[in-house]
């Protein structure tokens, strides 16, 4: 791995090297994680303290009503946790008939939140510190307040303009009738109290106690389907991982209902090409990646759902080497092809990665989906609820068709890279449909082209939109953009600082005796260690 002083891309940051390392999208969350390591906790304790802090300091991407996924290396083996929630029991296809699709906001977009259950279950199985200790930084920031950071302030402003009429939103997130500005202090004592209850009861208050009662009562008040029984029925799954080898390394993802399989499929197709012969920022390498990603998204949009609902085409079918080789042969080296790809939906998410001196590594992600999620905030609790129900389809017979107590298709995915038997990298890249595409780009940049995590995160990105449409960051070299256009790609140039469409990567890569980390300049966060 190279560590260039003359970094090839515009950057505000250097790679961070340490024996213990935390990378998140918010400096206060990173510091919360480090504080647990200094108390004698492990990488999981650090990850959870950061994850618990993020709903307070980055509410634009997650909340107490989020879903979550985790991939964890415990020193001996890899574990995968699916803590995404299922739909209310009353969500039959008939309930949404004639509505022209699933609602994007409001109560009818809310499925069971899983993040709190992830915190409790991960801590019980792998944590070293008392559960209550993990909440101390978050409760402090919620009670005493924190300074709103620039990028979050802008996203908060945008979210407030569209969500202010949603139940409970303005009362909680718009003190004085507006979103707080960057540099202003925001306090949320209601969330502090909810965090205390969650900590004291190991999450029971959220699913079967006082908080569950408040959530369900607010739902009834607005004619929503969610009930106390739905919350009490929530369960996580230790689902393991699925993987795709590329050279000496293998990318691991959580199995469906998530989109991680799209990155694996694209990687499998690219293993059948000569992409290794090209430079990382060449038009030839980018063209191959874009075309493989388009093919992968086509299949994901068509076949991927809650794994129990994938009756005809299963995960193993989509990852079959012979099938991926046949898909790779559809890629035309000389021109872009208009495969009939669906247009993935936009979203907002937080991800983080940690590693400790004993070798434990964690990749963790949680999300409210589209920015503030549903826009619903339960009064007196600070609980903002996700809108994962929007991930269902109303198309009859589709494996992802809405139904009772069913998980919707999910965009959020943690990533992990393994060698033959040893861990290499815990990472993620938040940002709706950008996530699988970002995983592919980070995997290739670090493992094929040997870029350090910060350089890989700084590099200009591309994003498949639909058909021949591809968004490309304006920092990409003009001659490369021109060549991609000549191949038939319809290019939309976007600024990495203003579009928020290219996600935010957090990476922790194993090196001898420690780690090297990177944190995306497109977010407010940082990587730090000791």
CB 417 within 8 A of CB 443: yes
CB-based contact 155:371 (threshold 8 Å): yes
* Cα separation, 489 vs 402, whole angstroms: 34
329 neighbors 481 (Cβ within 8 angstroms): no
Contact 415, 447 (CB under 8 A): no
Q: Which of 304, 307, 331 is nearest to 318 (CA)?
A: 304
Per residue, the 3-state secondary structure of 136-185, as one string, reads HHHHHHHHHCEECCHHHHHHHHHHHHHHCCCCCHHHHHCHHHCCCCCCCE
Spatial CA neighbour of 338 closest among 465, 482, 440? 465
Tell me the three state secondary structure of residue 417: strand
Q: Which residue has the tokens 């009756």?
A: 311
Tokens in use for 17?
Answer: 């090297």
- DSSP per-residue string spanning 464-486: EEETTEEEEETTS-HHHHHHHHH
196 Cβ neighbours under 8 A, 6+ residues apart:
135, 139
Q: Are the C-beta atoms of residues 492 and 465 closer than 8 Å to each other?
A: yes
- Judge whether 289 and 280 are in contact, CB under 8 Å: no
Q: Which tokens belong to 182? A: 């960057």
Find, among 443, 438, 448, the residue nearest to 425 by Cα.
443
Cα angle value 176/177/183 (rounded, 5°): 60
Q: Which is catalytic among the residues 273, 349, 381, 455?
A: 349
Helix (H) or strand (E) holding 50: helix 43-57
27 closest CA partner among 519, 509, 480, 522: 519
The count of other CB atoms within 10 Å of the CB of residue 237 is 14
Tell me how far CA of residue 253 lies from CA of 48, 61, 140, 460, in angstroms: 20, 21, 34, 24
Q: What span, in angstroms and rounded, lies between the C-alpha atoms of 205 and 198?
A: 6
Active site residue 394: no
Farthest-apart Cα atoms in the chain, separation? 61
Instruction: Name the residues annotated as catalytic.
Output: 349
């Amino acid at each position: 791995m190279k560590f260039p002083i003359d970094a090839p891309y515009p950057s505000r940051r250097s790679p961070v090297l340490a024996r213990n390392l935390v990378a998140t999208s918010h400096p206060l969350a990173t510091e919360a994680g480090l504080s647990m390591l200094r108390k004698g906790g492990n990488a999981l304790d650090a990850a959870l303290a950061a994850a618990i802090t993020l709903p307070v300091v980055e509410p634009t991407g997650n909340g107490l009503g989020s879903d979550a996924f985790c991939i964890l290396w415990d020193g001996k083996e890899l574990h995968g946790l699916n803590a995404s929630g299922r739909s209310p029991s009353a969500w039959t296809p008939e309930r949404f008939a004639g509505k022209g699709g699933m609602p994007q906001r409001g109560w009818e977009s809310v499925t069971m939140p899983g993040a709190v259950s992830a915190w409790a279950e991960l801590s019980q199985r792998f944590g070293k510190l008392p559960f209550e200790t993990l909440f101390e930084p978050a409760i402090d920031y919620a009670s005493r307040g924190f300074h709103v950071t620039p990028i979050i302030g802008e996203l908060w402003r945008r979210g407030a303009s569209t969500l202010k009429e949603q139940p409970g939103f303005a009362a909680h997130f718009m003190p004085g009738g507006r979103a707080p500005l960057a540099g202003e202090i925001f306090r949320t004592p209601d969330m502090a109290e909810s965090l205390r209850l969650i900590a004291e009861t190991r999450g029971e208050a959220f699913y079967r106690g006082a908080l569950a009662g408040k959530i369900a009562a607010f739902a009834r008040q607005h004619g929503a389907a969610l009930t106390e029984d739905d919350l009490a029925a929530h369960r996580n799954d230790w689902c393991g991982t699925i993987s795709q080898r590329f050279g000496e390394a293998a990318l691991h993802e959580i199995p469906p209902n998530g989109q991680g399989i799209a990155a694996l499929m694209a990687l499998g197709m690219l293993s059948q090409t000569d992409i290794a012969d090209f430079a990382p920022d060449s038009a030839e390498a980018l063209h191959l990646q874009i075309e493989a990603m388009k093919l992968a998204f086509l299949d994901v949009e068509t076949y991927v759902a809650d794994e129990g609902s994938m009756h005809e085409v299963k995960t193993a079918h989509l990852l079959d080497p012979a099938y991926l080789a046949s898909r790779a042969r559809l890629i035309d080296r000389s021109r872009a092809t208009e495969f009939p790809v669906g247009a993935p939906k936009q979203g907002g998410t937080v991800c983080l990665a940690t590693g400790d001196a004993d070798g434990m590594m964690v990749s963790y992600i949680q999300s409210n989906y589209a920015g503030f999620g549903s826009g619903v905030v339960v009064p007196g609790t600070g609980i903002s609820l996700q809108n994962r129900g929007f991930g269902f389809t109303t198309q009859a017979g589709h494996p992802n068709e809405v139904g009772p107590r069913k998980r919707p298709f999910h965009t959020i995915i943690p990533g992990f890279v393994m060698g033959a038997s040893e861990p290499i990298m815990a990472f993620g890249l938040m940002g709706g449909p950008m996530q699988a595409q970002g995983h592919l780009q980070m995997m290739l940049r670090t493992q094929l082209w040997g870029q350090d995590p910060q350089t890989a995160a700084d590099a200009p990105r591309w994003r498949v939109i639909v058909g021949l449409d591809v968004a490309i960051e304006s920092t990409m070299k003009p001659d490369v953009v021109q060549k991609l256009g000549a191949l038939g790609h319809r290019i939309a140039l976007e600024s990495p600082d203003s579009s928020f469409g290219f996600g935010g990567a957090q990476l922790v890569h194993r090196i001898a005796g420690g780690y090297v980390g990177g944190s995306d300049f497109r977010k407010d966060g940082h990587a730090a260690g000791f």
